[in-house]
């Protein structure tokens, strides 16, 4: 997707309940930085020759940066940003969002990070889960206009595919952990029920024995 009037419309994906549920199911929000993700953003910066790249997970209130390479403080430490960002636009589609010159675009020049972070050019690849929910984006920015080449977009797409696999893996691990917890809870309940049943059986047997003696 290129910049332009196509995006001059209300953003609806951010608040989609199914998308938000899928995002939280990954268990990645507010987690520590991980080398598996940081390696990808470092590589994007190196291959594209840009100042910064990041892996953004977008909930209803903010962008949470699972990885952010090249950002200064305070963003490097907080790893989150509230308000409208380019990632909100990136998750509206399953196609790359390519913006060569943010200040020259009638829509994107109004995104706050054009001024606060100096975003003069942006490329973002949507990060979808296996069910097609767009959780965030794998993005790179430049602080000067940048005509993103087809090869650069392909590089970002390949890196985003790796990021999607890592995210899917985390979600799968979380599902397995929850399933294990449910099994343990069920086992505990079954054990408690077995103890109760045994106590009842013992009580019934004691009553039979007592009845036999009085007879």
The parent domain of residue 133 ranges over 5-171
**Cβ-proximal residues to 105 (8 Å cutoff; 6+ apart), any chain:** 3, 4, 99
Predicted local confidence at residue 6, as pLDDT: 45
| pLDDT class of 5 with cuts at 50, 70, 90 | very low
CA distance 76 to 70: 8
Decide if 98 contacts 148 (C-beta within 8 A).
yes
Question: In this structure, what CATH number is given to the domain that contains residue 53?
Answer: 3.30.450.40
Tell me, yes or no, whether 197 lies in a domain. no
Highest mean pLDDT among 8-22, 70-84, 132-146: 132-146
What pTM value is reported for the model? 0.77
Q: Is residue 193 part of a domain?
A: no
Spell out the alpha helix ranges (H) of the chain.
17-25, 35-48, 75-78, 86-90, 113-116, 150-214
How many structural domains are present in the chain?
Answer: 1
Give residues with Cβ within 8 angstroms of 148, minimum separation 6: 98, 100, 121, 123
Q: Look at residue 65 and tell me if it is in a domain.
A: yes
Terminal CA-to-CA distance of the chain, rounded, Å? Answer: 91
Percentages helix, strand, coil for the chain (3-state, rounded to 5) are 50, 20, 30
- What confidence category does residue 76 fall into, taking pLDDT thresholds of 50, 70 and 90? confident
Torsion 157-159-162-167 (CA) sign: negative
């Amino acid at each position: 997707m290129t910049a332009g009037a196509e995006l001059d419309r209300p953003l609806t994906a951010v608040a989609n309940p199914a998308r938000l549920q899928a995002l939280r199911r990954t268990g990645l929000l507010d987690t520590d930085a991980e080398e598996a993700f940081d390696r990808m953003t470092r590589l994007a910066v190196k291959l594209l020759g840009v100042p910064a790249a990041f892996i953004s997970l977008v909930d209803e209130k903010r962008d949470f940066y699972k990885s952010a390479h090249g950002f200064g403080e305070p963003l490097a430490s907080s790893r989150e940003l509230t308000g409208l960002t380019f990632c909100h636009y990136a998750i509206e589609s399953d196609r790359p969002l390519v913006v060569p010159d943010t200040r020259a675009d009638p829509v994107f020049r109004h995104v706050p990070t054009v001024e606060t972070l100096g975003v003069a050019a942006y490329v973002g690849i949507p990060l979808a889960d296996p069910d097609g929910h767009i959780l965030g984006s794998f993005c790179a920015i430049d602080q000067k206009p940048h005509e993103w080449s087809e090869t650069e977009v392909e590089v970002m797409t390949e890196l985003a595919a790796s990021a999607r696999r890592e995210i899917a893996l985390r979600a799968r691990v979380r599902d397995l952990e929850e399933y294990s917890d449910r099994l343990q809870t069920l086992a505990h309940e079954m054990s408690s029920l077995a103890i109760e049943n045994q106590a009842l059986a013992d009580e019934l047997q004691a009553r039979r024995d007592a009845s036999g003696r009085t007879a």
